[in-house]
Amino acid sequence: MKTIEDFNFENKKALIRVDFNVPLDGEFNVTDTSRIEAATPTILKVLEDGGSAVLMSHLGRPKGQVNPDMSLSHICEKVSEIVGVQVKFVDECVGDKVEQAVAELQSGEVLLLENLRFHAEEEKGDEAFAELLSKNGDVYVNDAFGTAHRAHASTTIVAKFFPDNKCFGYLLAKEIKAIEKVMQTGEKPVTAILGGAKVSSKITIIENILDKVDNLIIGGGMTYTFIKAQGGQVGDSICEDDKMELALDILKQAEAKGVKIHIPVDVLAADDFDNNANTQFVDVNKIPDGWQGLDAGPQSLENFKKVISESRTILWNGPVGVFEMENFAKGTIAIGNYIDEATQNGAFSLVGGGDSVAAVKQFGFQDKVSYVSTGGGAMLESLEGRTLPGIAAILG
C-alpha cells in the first residue's frame, strides 16, 4: 500500500483530493472544522518536504451547476488558519486559469481549487474531466475517505493518469488500517455491536462480519425483528415483518460459524415515540400492545458489558436506542462507557458508519475510542466487504 510516506515532495506539486465538505452557517462560517483538521497532516507533510499542495474537494450538492453559496472560497480563510499558511484560491478547478495558478505555485504554497461538483462531469466520473484535473499536479494523493466509495473523477478516475505517482494521504491510510484491524488482523475476541433502526439497512454488514467476529451484539430497532421472528411479543416496537425469515437465517448462520449473538433480554418500553412518554422496563419477549421498546434495559446492558469487557477488538455501528431523545439515550451512553473501559484496558475500538459518529460526538466519546471513522457511507460499504473504488484506484 503506497502512502504519502513513500514520497518525497521536494519541488513537486501534490494534487490532493481532500474532503472539505464542511457544514457552513448562514454567514458562510465553518461550523465544524474536523474535516479540515483531519486533512492537515497530509498537507503539512508535502510542505515540509519542500513541495506545494493543490487541494481539490466538493462542497454540498450543487449538481453540476455553479452555485456561489457552495463556493469553496468561503472556507479558504479557515483552511489558512488551520494549516498555518495563507492559502490561495482559484475560482475554477480545471482549465487555463487553474493551470496558470498551478504553474506559479512555489514550494511551501497551498492552492485551493473551486468546488469540483460545479461540473457535472465530476460525479459522472468523466475521463476527459479527470484528465484535465490530472494536469494540476505531479503526484496524486487521495485523502478523502468520505468519498472513497464513489467512482468520481477526482476520487477514482484521475488516478489512472498517475500510474506511478499516486498514494494515500495519512487520513485515508489510517481509515484503511483501522478497518483492516477489525476485519482482518484484529486480536480475538472480536466483537461487533450493531444498532440502528432497521435490519434491512444492516443486513449486508451482518452477513459479511459473521465470518470475522466472535461476538455480535444486536441492539436498537433491529432487536424486535429478531425477537418477533423467534416468537416473542414486540408490542408496537419497530419491526420488519418481511425480514423475520432473514433474521432466523442469520441466527442459524451465526450458530454454524460459532459466532455468539447477543440480543437484549429486557428493554425500556414507552407508550409513545416521545421523550416524555410513560415508560417501563419489560421483558423483551413480552412487550404489551401499545408499548414500544426504545432503549436497552439494565439486564441487557449488564450482559453487553461483560462481552465488551472481554473483547480485544471492538467495532461499533449504530445506537442501541433512540439516543436523540434524552430518556432513551442511556443504553447508548452505557455502551460508549463500556467501550471506553475496554479501550483503556488495551482493546482496539473502531466506531463508524452512518450516524454512529453523531452519537459518539454528542456524548463526547470521540477521544475515548481508538478510532472514529470520518466516512459514514464509505465506512458502511467497507463493513459490507466491498472494495471502495477510490481505494482500488490507488492500489491498482
Give 45's DSSP letter: H
Q: Tell me, yes or no, if 35 is annotated catalytic.
A: yes
88 given a catalytic annotation: no
Question: How many Cβ atoms are within 10 Å of 12's Cβ, its own excluded?
Answer: 18
Query: In the complex, what is the shortest distance from the CB of residue 386 to ligand AMP, in angstroms, rounded to a whole number?
Result: 18
Catalytic annotation, pick one of 354, 368, 375, 390: 354
Q: How many Cα atoms occupy the beta-carbon half-sphere of 268 within 13 Å? A: 25
User: Cβ of 374: how many Cβ atoms within 10 Å?
Assistant: 21
Catalytic site includes residue 150: no
The distance of closest approach from Cβ of residue 222 to ligand AMP in the complex, given in angstroms and rounded to an integer, is: 8
| Residue 13, beta-bridge partner list | 52
Helix/strand/coil for 47 = helix
Q: Pick between residue 30 and residue 359 the one whose CB is nearest to ligand AMP.
A: 359
Q: Which is nearer to ligand AMP, 322 or 347 (CB)?
A: 322
Stretch touching ligand AMP by CB under 6 A, among 5-13, 162-170, 191-199, 340-348? 191-199
Measured from the CB atom, the residue of 263 and 294 that comes closer to ligand AMP is 294
> 46 vs 222, which CB is nearer to ligand AMP?
222
Per-residue binder mask for ligand AMP (CB under 6 A), 335-364, x = binder: -------------------xx---------
Q: Which of 12, 17, 35, 228 is catalytic?
A: 35
Question: What is the rounded CA–CA span in Å between residue 47 and residue 55?
Answer: 13
Stretch that binds ligand AMP, among 38-46, 63-71, 190-198, 388-396 (CB under 6 A): 190-198
Residue range at the interface with ligand AMP (CB under 6 A); choices 41-49, 60-68, 97-105, 314-322: 314-322
Q: Given the C-alpha cell 481532500, which residue does it identify?
A: 18
d(CA 154, CA 122): 7
Asked if residue 101 lies in contact with residue 109, where contact means CB atoms within 8 angstroms, the answer is no
Strand partners of residue 166: 140
Closest-approach residue to ligand AMP (CB):
196
Q: Which residues contact 182 (CB under 8 A, 6 or more apart)?
A: 190, 212, 313, 315, 348, 350
Q: Which stretch binds ligand AMP (CB under 6 A): 99-107, 142-150, 193-201, 336-344?
A: 193-201
CA angle in degrees (0–180, nearest 5) for 306-307-312: 115
Q: Are the beta carbons of 312 and 189 closer than 8 angstroms?
A: yes
CA distance linking residue 108 with residue 47, whole number of Å: 5
Please say which residue, 195 or 390, places its beta carbon nearer to ligand AMP: 195
User: What is the three-class DSSP state of 104?
Assistant: helix
User: Which of 125, 137, 186, 293: binder of ligand AMP (CB under 6 A)?
Assistant: 293
Exposure string (b/e) for 292-318, b if CB count within 10 Å is 16 or more? bbbbbbeebbebbbebbeebbbbbbbb
Sign of CA dihedral 311, 315, 317, 323: positive
Choosing from 99, 272, 324, 341, the residue that interacts with ligand AMP (CB under 6 A) is 324
Q: Could you tell me the smallest distance in angstroms from the CB atom of residue 321 to ligand AMP?
A: 5
The residue (of 186 and 321) whose beta carbon lies closer to ligand AMP is 321
For the question of residue 198 being annotated catalytic, the response is yes
Q: Using the minimum distance from each CB to ligand AMP, give the nearer residue, 182 or 239.
A: 239
Residue reference for cell 484535473: 133
Nearer to ligand AMP, 105 or 294 (CB): 294
Q: Which of residues 67, 201, 208, 253 is near ligand AMP by CB under 6 A?
A: 201
Shortest Å, Cβ 142 to ligand AMP: 26
Select from 69-77, 172-180, 246-254, 320-328 the region that touches ligand AMP (CB under 6 A): 320-328
Cβ atoms of 354 and 204 within 8 Å: the answer is no
Judged by CB under 6 A, which stretch of 9-17, 49-57, 196-204, 337-345 contacts ligand AMP?
196-204
Which residue in this structure is represented by grid cell 442459524?
Answer: 252
Q: Which of residues 216-275 bind ligand AMP (CB under 6 A)?
A: 220-221, 238
Q: Which of 135, 198, 305, 361 is catalytic?
A: 198
Main-chain dihedrals φ then ψ at residue 243, nearest 5 degrees: -110, 10
Residue 31: exposed, middle, or buried by beta-carbon count in 10 A (0-12, 13-18, 19+)?
exposed
Among 197, 244, 251, 261, binds ligand AMP (CB under 6 A): 197
So which residues are the catalytic ones? 35, 198, 354, 377
Residues that bind ligand AMP (CB under 6 A): 195-197, 201, 220-221, 238, 293-294, 318-319, 321-324, 354-355
